[in-house]
């Protein structure tokens, strides 16, 4: 079990815009913004004990059911990116994740990516279920810690997750 510090620290990952991510307009293709948050999402889930080990132990995981990208500024070949992962909301069955994609060298916010995910028992067949109580409590602690993180004004453009009490 992770200590509270590892649960509550805002996960941050770095990567480089590669040549295969560049389109004919010589900037990062829109499709690759969600690719850019894939590994940061996996690392964050692992740090919250809701990743690969959790899936192996429990045969449970989560599926993205809504994704949204807000494009703010261009990213170019070779740009070094910093991606932060924020657990914005949870209700014991769903979580709302917010990823901030920064140009790390020029220090600007390039995009926001939001995932709404639902907790599932992998079955077969997969089906939506409530999270086990220890996981739900752990994610509520993460949410509380992340609540103090200042969001950029552009985050207002993102869809809300109407919470359903457990």
Could you tell me if 4 and 142 are in contact, meaning their C-beta atoms sit under 8 angstroms apart? no
Q: Say whether 137 sits in a helix, a strand or coil.
A: helix
Q: What is the mean pLDDT of residues 132-137?
A: 98
Could you tell me if 40 and 11 are in contact, meaning their C-beta atoms sit under 8 angstroms apart? yes
Mean pLDDT for the chain?
91
pTM: 0.90
- The residue count of the chain comes to 166
Residue 163 confidence (pLDDT): 59
Among 130, 113, 108, which residue's Cα sits nearest to residue 121?
130
* DSSP, res 105: T
Please tell me the CATH code under which domain 4-149 is placed: 3.10.129.10
Backbone angles phi, psi at 159, to 5 degrees: -65, 145
Boundaries of every domain in the chain: 4-149
Residue 4 confidence (pLDDT): 59
Residue 141 — very low, low, confident or very high, per pLDDT cuts 50/70/90? very high
| Percent of the chain predicted with pLDDT > 70 | 92
Residue 154 confidence (pLDDT): 86
Residue 1 — very low, low, confident or very high, per pLDDT cuts 50/70/90? very low
Could you tell me if 116 and 83 are in contact, meaning their C-beta atoms sit under 8 angstroms apart? no
Q: Give the tens place of pLDDT for each residue, 53-103.
A: 999 999 999 999 999 999 999 999 999 999 999 999 999 999 999 999 999
């Amino acid at each position: 079990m992770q200590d509270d510090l590892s649960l509550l620290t805002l996960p941050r990952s770095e990567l480089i815009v590669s040549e295969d991510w560049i389109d004919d307009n010589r900037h990062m293709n829109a499709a690759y913004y969600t690719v850019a948050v894939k590994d940061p999402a996996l690392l964050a889930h692992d740090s919250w004990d809701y990743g690969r080990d959790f899936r192996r132990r429990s045969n449970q995981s989560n599926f993205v059911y809504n994704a949204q990208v807000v494009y703010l500024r261009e990213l170019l070949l070779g740009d070094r990116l910093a991606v932060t992962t924020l657990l914005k909301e949870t209700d014991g069955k769903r979580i709302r994740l917010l990823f901030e994609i920064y140009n790390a060298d020029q220090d600007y916010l390039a995009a926001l990516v939001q995932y709404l995910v639902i907790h599932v028992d992998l079955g077969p067949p997969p089906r939506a279920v409530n999270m086990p109580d220890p996981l739900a409590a752990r994610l509520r602690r993460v949410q509380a810690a992340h609540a103090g993180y200042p969001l950029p004004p552009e985050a207002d453009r993102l869809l809300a997750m109407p919470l359903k009490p457990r």
